[in-house]
Amino acid sequence: MSEYADLSPGGPGVGAVEKRFFTFAQDEPFVLESGAAIGPVTLAYETYGALDPDGANAVLVCHALTGDSHAAGVYHGADPKPGWWEVMIGPGKGIDTNRHFVICSNVLGGCMGSTGPASLNPETGRPWGLAFPVLTIGDMVRAQKVLLDHLGVKRVLAAVGGSMGGMQVLEWAARYPETVVSAIALATAAKHSALHIAFHEVARQAIVADPDWNGGDYYHGPKPAHGLAVARMIGHITYLSDEAMRHKFGRGLQDRADFSFSFDADFQVESYLRYQGRKFVERFDANSFLYITRAADYFDLGATHGQGSLTKAFSRGDTRFLVVSFSSDWLYPTYQSRELVQALKRAGRDVSFCEIEAQWGHDAFLLDSPRLSGLVAGHLERTRRDLGRDLRRGLP
Amino acid sequence: MRYDLDLVASWIAPGSKVLDLGCGQGELLQHLHDTKGVQGFGVEQDEEKAATGISRGVSILQGDMAGEVRDYPDNAFDVVVLSQTLQQVAEPLGLIRQMLRVGKRAVVSFPNFAHWRNRCQLFFQGNAPVTPELPYDWHDTPNIRVITFRDFHRFCNRFGFTILEAVAVKTDPASRGGLVLRLLPNLRATYGIFLLARS
């Protein structure tokens, strides 16, 4: 996911917001899919808008790989950076905070306030590092469920997310169909392709090959900054597309008229990648990157919830779906969304699908797009209207 | 709403489950949802039309109808609609069979190629007809099928589709008004609408 500071927020936002924290599993540990148990667990989260008395207007926003709970608005004080989905969340936007109560939490395993490998292991008093158990998208979603229960949100009108956020949305729909009235899955897939896993592996190898990584135990010394920056650079290449890069950089040179005949960043694209890598190192933990990419690579909805059948994974419940792909996304190509849609149709689910023509590659779901906002707003509106009708009729 | 779509809507029972192939912006489905509580699903190839329909709250899959219809289980719908599109379909027989596999009933409508104006253009002017219903030149037309009522009846007999209802109408492509014709329909009607069932 791109650095969202580059994005121009479309219209007024939700204003000042505050990051909150919720801690659970203090007494009983939280058992992960791997069988390992951790506790206590803290999740960082933010909310925007207000929950209706009937509780029918909650929208859960799930963030992508390296995102966080800060989906919209700005923090008090010196940090002017708006949330990563400022273009989508706010008054009158695709997810209208005048109408909806939006919740976004930082995933378990993250490093933006949630428990992850950089947190202190209560048994040793030192950061977990590689002693942190490997987790899954399912674990992240189960932790979010505990948070929603704590917030008194019994049912969400929609779970919404793109990329790895979309995987969480699908996991929600398969695991807790009764909790999710609708699922909006953008630029995502029911499982990663070999190509995708390959990119993640190269990125992970860049981190573990950094001498400062030190087997994951680097919290009291220099960080594996170079490896993490390279991992981020690889990511950025996959988030764009041939066309997007040509359009954005071409073969343009950075701050010079001719080649330097060295290995400095002569080309604009090199300079861009190095800048993105540096910026990422300032805010992200290398071990979190390893754990979260692993969780995304392990994700296979059909295997986990349908004994190998994606159709079976969606066989329970009444969740309706909106699936969106982007034409130039080669990380989560349209064929994967179509596979998802096919399984949903076979399972008898109400599903809408649209492939948006966009030249910006995978990043398109984060950019200001009236078409995408319109799709999300329309889907939410109808879901809410139909839910209201069902509630009036006394249906569950 | 368009006159012919009104007629189609009149054949659909309240509360039923409908699939509309080539649904455009989902006008028919929205109407059926709002007036009859119909659970509607559409398929539309064009991104802009599909997106507009979804933004209005209709469930639409953007894709190729011949491909999309194959994924549904048998009897998934009460009615499957193919409105004013049969003339553009590459494999009409396969598509109608699929429609009657996934739906208990199928509604098919198309412009009548045997309309007197088409006949006159061919007979007196000697050129391939260009009319409000078929507004394209021969070299630049999505309409690859030439269909008349008589042809369609024969087709249904031959391949075992039962025609439950057949209506010949005279209406403009975008008109809200129109007439149902009983006299000389194959000559006078601009469109035919058929309700089909498996034999």
Closest CA of chain B from A167, distance in Å: 20
What band does A6 get if pLDDT is binned at 50, 70 and 90? very low
Identify which of B51, B52, B71 has the shortest CB distance to residue A345. Answer: B71
Identify which of A338, A348, A377 has the shortest CB distance to residue B55. Answer: A377
Residue (of A189, A276, A191) closest to A235 by Cα position? A276
Q: Are A93 and A10 in contact (CB under 8 A)?
A: yes
Lookup: tokens for A48 = 């925007």
Percent of chain A exceeding pLDDT 90 equals: 91
**Which residue of B lies nearest to A375 if distances are taken between CA atoms?**
B55
Interchain CB distance below 8 Å, B54 and A322: yes
**What is the CB-side half-sphere exposure of residue A199 using CA atoms within 13 A?**
16
Interchain CB distance below 8 Å, A351 and B72: no
What band does A76 get if pLDDT is binned at 50, 70 and 90? confident
**Which residue of B lies nearest to A381 if distances are taken between CA atoms?**
B57
Domain ranges of chain A: 2-192+301-392
Model confidence at A396: pLDDT above 80:
no
Identified catalytic residue from A63, A305, A362, A379: A362
Interchain CB distance below 8 Å, A346 and B73: yes
Interchain CB distance below 8 Å, B61 and A382: no
Identify which of B41, B54, B68 has the shortest CB distance to residue A378. Answer: B54
- The question of whether A373 is a catalytic residue gets the answer no
Lookup: tokens for A118 = 């950089």
Whether the predicted interface score ipTM is above 0.85: yes
Q: Does A74 contact B at CB distance below 8 Å?
A: no
- The question of whether A362 is a catalytic residue gets the answer yes
What band does B79 get if pLDDT is binned at 50, 70 and 90? very high
Percent of chain B exceeding pLDDT 70 equals: 99
Q: Are B37 and B18 in contact (CB under 8 A)?
A: no
The string of pLDDT tens digits covering residues A123-174 is 999 999 999 999 999 999 999 999 999 999 999 999 999 999 999 999 999 9
Residue (of A153, A161, A191) closest to A88 by Cα position? A161
φ, ψ of residue A103 in degrees (nearest 5): -120, 130
Whether pTM > 0.90 for this model: the answer is yes
The string of pLDDT tens digits covering residues A77-86 is 777 789 999 9
Residues in A closer than 8 angstroms to B61, CB to CB, are: 341, 345, 351-353
Q: Does A296 contact B at CB distance below 8 Å?
A: no
The string of pLDDT tens digits covering residues A97-119 is 999 999 999 999 999 999 999 99
Q: Does A93 contact B at CB distance below 8 Å?
A: no
Interchain CB distance below 8 Å, A350 and B72: no
The string of pLDDT tens digits covering residues A369-394 is 999 999 999 999 999 998 888 778 77
**pLDDT at residue A388, rounded to an integer:** 85
Binding site, annotated residues of A: 232, 363
What band does A395 get if pLDDT is binned at 50, 70 and 90? low
Which candidate in A320, A354, A390 is best for mutational testing of the B interface (most B CBs within 10 A)? A354
The string of pLDDT tens digits covering residues A231-259 is 999 999 999 999 999 999 999 999 999 99
φ, ψ of residue A30 in degrees (nearest 5): -90, 120
What band does A11 get if pLDDT is binned at 50, 70 and 90? low
- Arithmetic mean of pLDDT, B106-129: 93
Q: Does B47 contact A at CB distance below 8 Å?
A: yes
Q: Which residue has the higher pLDDT, A8 or B32?
A: B32
- Arithmetic mean of pLDDT, A19-31: 97
Tell me yes or no: is domain A2-192+301-392 CATH 3.30.420.40: no
Lookup: tokens for A279 = 């910026």
Model confidence at A10: pLDDT above 70:
no
Which H, E and C letters describe chain A, residue by residue? CCCHHHCCCCCCCCCEECCEEEEECCCCCEECCCCCEECCEEEEEEEECCCCCCCCCEEEEECCCCCCCCCCCEECCCCCCCCCCCCCEECCCCEECCCCEEEEECCCCCCCCCCCCCCECCCCCCECHHHCCCCCHHHHHHHHHHHHHHHCCCCEEEEEEECHHHHHHHHHHHHCCCCEEEEEEECCCCECCHHHHHHHHHHHHHHHCCHHHHHHCCCCCCCCHHHHHHHHHHHHHHHCCHHHHHHHCCCCECCCCCCCCCCCCCEHHHHHHHHHHHHHHHHCCHHHHHHHHHHHHHCEHHHHHCCCCHHHHCCCCCCEEEEEEECCCCCCCHHHHHHHHHHHHHCCCCEEEEEECCCCHHHHHHCCCHHHHHHHHHHHHHHHHHHHHHHHHCCC
Residues in B closer than 8 angstroms to A351, CB to CB, are: 59, 61
- Arithmetic mean of pLDDT, A6-17: 69
**Which residue of B lies nearest to A325 if distances are taken between CA atoms?**
B62
Identify which of A346, A379, A385 has the shortest CB distance to residue B54. Answer: A379
Binding site, annotated residues of A for substrate: 232, 363
The string of pLDDT tens digits covering residues A310-358 is 999 999 999 999 999 999 999 999 999 999 999 999 999 999 999 999 9
Q: Which residue has the higher pLDDT, A11 or B31?
A: B31
Q: Does A350 contact B at CB distance below 8 Å?
A: yes
Closest CA of chain B from A138, distance in Å: 28
Number of CB atoms found within 10 A of residue A357's CB: 13
Lookup: tokens for B118 = 């088409």
The string of pLDDT tens digits covering residues A256-305 is 999 999 999 999 999 999 999 999 999 999 999 999 999 999 999 999 99
Identified catalytic residue from A2, A114, A163, A369: A163
- The question of whether A163 is a catalytic residue gets the answer yes
Residues in B closer than 8 angstroms to A349, CB to CB, are: none
Helices B3-10 and B27-36 sit at what angle, rounded to 10 degrees?
A: 40
- Arithmetic mean of pLDDT, A175-192: 98
Lookup: tokens for A2 = 């791109």
Name the average pLDDT for chain A. 94
Q: Does A382 contact B at CB distance below 8 Å?
A: yes
- Arithmetic mean of pLDDT, B8-35: 96
**Which residue of B lies nearest to A385 if distances are taken between CA atoms?**
B57
Model confidence at A27: pLDDT above 70:
yes
Lookup: tokens for B69 = 């219809």
What band does A8 get if pLDDT is binned at 50, 70 and 90? very low
Residue (of A20, A94, A11, A89) closest to A49 by Cα position? A89
Identify which of A353, A356, A377 has the shortest CB distance to residue B61. Answer: A353
Interchain CB distance below 8 Å, A351 and B61: yes
φ, ψ of residue B87 in degrees (nearest 5): -65, -10
Closest CA of chain A from B73, distance in Å: 6
**pLDDT at residue A5, rounded to an integer:** 41
The string of pLDDT tens digits covering residues B149-198 is 999 999 999 999 999 999 999 887 777 788 888 888 888 889 999 999 99
Cis upstream peptide for A40 (omega within 30°): yes
- Tokens 């398109």, residue? A364
